Structure 1
Amino acid sequence: MKRDALFWLSLSYIGLVVILAVFASHIAPYSPYEIDPNNILKPPNIHHLFGTDRLGRDVFSRVVYASRISMEVSFIAVGISTSIGVIYGAVSGYFGGWVDALMMRFVDVMLTFPVFFLILAVVVVLGPSIFNVMVVIGLTGWMGIARIVRAESLKIRELGYVQAAKLLNKSDIYILFRHIIPNCLSPVVVYATLGVGSAILAESALSFLGLGVQPPTASWGSILSEGKDVIEVAWWMSFFPGMVIFLTVISFTIIGEKLKK
């Protein structure tokens, strides 16, 4: 891993995005809401690195501030899905038998639904907002983690230290949280890393369709959506946020794939 340049390049890029998100107010040269009628649809230049939009707002500043929204939504959504998946899978594998069969059939049913269209339907019902996007993405992305943890739990429950804990009359909850779950987390970290990229894509797609983060708050998807109407005369409005989404997702994917090995 130390000699893998692609891994460290991806990790460095993600670190840069996180720094942009945390210190957006210090890094962005302009306010993301600052309207300048004298600089409408200006191409990239020394004063506006990513050009300006239809209201004269600096696209670079909006992309920087949007990194905060996209990172927040994706990390919280993955945190929700990981928490649900780990607990659900650990309980299913630990108890086994009819409990396991029933719980896994529910997972199979959930997996039959196209995830993005399920997210889309729920967001339409609940209404577009940052909170709803985070919760909905989190509640529809736990099934894969649950299956991974369930497989690990089936193996771990047969190991000596778990059997010893049962002989000592330790409670099931104690065994689950002290022995089963902590020893299932290695593959979960890999899956969660890959899940961050998927969550960013889902949030960007919802914002692009107008069902995610609402104006004037900037997100990568909403900036991309604003650019599609003027792409013939202002290519930079679609190119730069699109490139940031691409690089961020591919970086998380590379990190997850490298951690698998």
Structure 2
Amino acid sequence: QRLESLISKGGDKRAHMIQFSATPIPRTQAMMDSALLDVSLITTTPFEKNITTQTISKPDFPALLAHIKAEIAQEHQVLIIYPLVEESSEVPYQSLEESRGFWESKFEDVYVTHGKDRDKEEVLLEFREKGNILLATTVVEVGISLPKLTLIVIVGAERLGLATLHQLRGRVGRNGLKSWCYLYSNAPANERLVQFSQTTNGFDIAKLDLKFRNSGDILDGTIQSGQKFRWLDMAEDEAVVAAAQRRVSSIVSQSS
């Protein structure tokens, strides 16, 4: 109804552009908070997801391995996301190609795909029907639905943005099954990951992203994050922003 109203409005109030986002970038979130954008929120989901998110590191690997075996024993599927396809001295984590031998030696029906894989769609379709473990890069952030997926491990999670982490986590639990998202990191106490693990709400995650990355230039638009006002923090000073909005609304109503 809200969308129909925006489209059907005439004159100067008719919308010229409509944006859709599950997790707005920091600048967009700041513009929403400061009322520079007219916003409608969809706060309901098709079904409630039950996903537990946890940061883990190397000492937790034996327990992770046991959990993976338990999920596969229940005919569920596991997704493991690697930061790179091939080894790099600049990244302190194993790559997909370095790790695949281990997983293939421990489990049957291990599938592998990545962005350069021309057969990616075919691999995903075959994994959906017959696979136990899928090793991949963030190429699976969106795409083919995998209804039996109940466990995802994101290696080097601190290297990814919160929106990407949220999209990847959203790959599990799509049929209502109890699911888990493990954020594997050499810095498990990373505050950004800790706070991310405490919510599955896309709006809250967008606000976290604003908090950690800052709003950028909300007027010019050339800088999407990384800068903030000298005397105002859009993520922390919500009460101040709300008071300013009320004051502006009062002035506008009095002058009209």
TM-score, normalized by length of structure 2? 0.23
Give the structure with the higher percent strand: 2
Give the structure with the higher percent helix: 1
TM-score, normalized by length of structure 1? 0.23
